[in-house]
Homo-oligomer: A and B are copies of this chain.
Amino acid sequence: MRKITIKDVARNAGVSIAAVSYVLNGKENKVSQDTIARIHESIKDLNYIPNMTARGLVKNTSELIGVIIPQTEDHKQLVFENPFYSEMISAIEGVVRDYGYHIILAGVDKGKTYLDISTSRNLDGAIIMGIYSEQLYEECKLANIPIVLIDSYVHDNDFAKVGIDDELGGYLATKHLIDNGHRNIGLVTGMIRKDGVVEKRFLGYKRALQEAGLFYNSDYVFENSVSYVHGRNSGSLIASKFPEITAIFATADMVAFGVIRGIKESGKEVPGDVSVIGFDDISMANIFLPPLTTVKQQISLKGETAAKLLIEQIRNKRGVKNQGDRTEIPLEVVERETVRKLTK
């Protein structure tokens, strides 16, 4: 069963190839009403579907958008265990589809894989989630396509960025704890890297402490991977060795889940003995028991925004150059059941 091409519809409609191409591309003013009708009919008859590959070759576009995702180090699997990413991708796919694009999902290995996929697939644009090496950013520039970075603080005007005010988020979380009467507040977090979201949250944590006249104690920060197990380890460590800590700010919900587990395993209660606040508000946060108090970032909105920004850039290719702005999605703490008000 041969694939049917523009030629077939041309023949079937008794017109030229060019005519078909015209109506396919909306240049209908170049074609008579009669021809248009005949062509449309043929298209329907033959069930013709344009070949994007061929089109892409000549128009030098692909209607394809790359979504690049962090790689877990060990597994060479996408970091999908964290539902955070799935929610965002889902959102991205939604808007992108509305505009007629499709998504290519790809992890990036070591080496220059990114540039590879970008140019070999002729991507129209890309969304990059999470933080990467400088090298990746350099590659991206070479690729020379619109790119929007999610959650990156890289100082570079070549990329549009969407994210949140992580410093504020850290501040909000910590302040919420302070407002509830807590004074010795632990921080359980992933690696604090320069210009990473985690660092900002950490900074917010310190600011809230300082503003409240509280002493920042570096013994109270438990820094490791942003993972459930790290949370769990830290939780039990805190519960057993740091009885003075009455509240914990975990810089990701997944970590918070671990913290709570660890605490409970050490025979203490949340929020009875120690309060916990998370970060992200992934959908599990409200499903977990007890429901997690956390600072909510609107994950879907973030994805949508990134997608829209990207498409805008793609469409305005010739237009104004992107300014490197960072558009920020609002934040709010949502109170559920893991933070207790300290009376006394």
Contacts and interface: CB of A to CB of B under 8 A. Distances in A.
Top 5 closest pairs, chain A to chain B, by CB: A80-B90, A86-B86, A78-B90, A80-B86, A52-B120
A316 interface: no
A103 B102 contact: no
B287 A257 contact: yes
A159 interface: no
Nearest to A50: B120
A105 B107 contact: no
A83 B80 CA distance: 8
A203 to B, nearest CB: 28
A54 interface: yes
Contact of A53 (B56, B102, B254, B261): B56
B102 A104 contact: yes
A51 interface: yes
Interface string A79-113: 11101011101110110010000111111010000
Given A53-B57, A62-B53, A284-B284, A76 B103 contact: no
Contact of A116 (B49, B75, B85): B49
Contact of A90 (B67, B77, B104, B254): B77
A107 B93 CA distance: 8
Contact of A120 (B49, B107, B228): B49
A120 to B, nearest CB: 5
How many identical chains are in the complex?
2
A308 interface: no
A44 to B, nearest CB: 12
B77 A81 contact: no
A264 interface: yes
Contacts of A52: 120-122
Interface centre among A50, A53, A54 (most CB of B within 10 A): A53
A53 B107 contact: no
Contacts of A97: 106-107, 109
A168 to B, nearest CB: 27
A15 interface: no
Given A49-B120, A85-B86, A93-B106, 7 more contacts: A52-B120, A52-B122, A77-B94, A77-B300, A80-B87, A103-B104, A289-B289
Given A81-B90, A107-B93, A289 B288 contact: yes
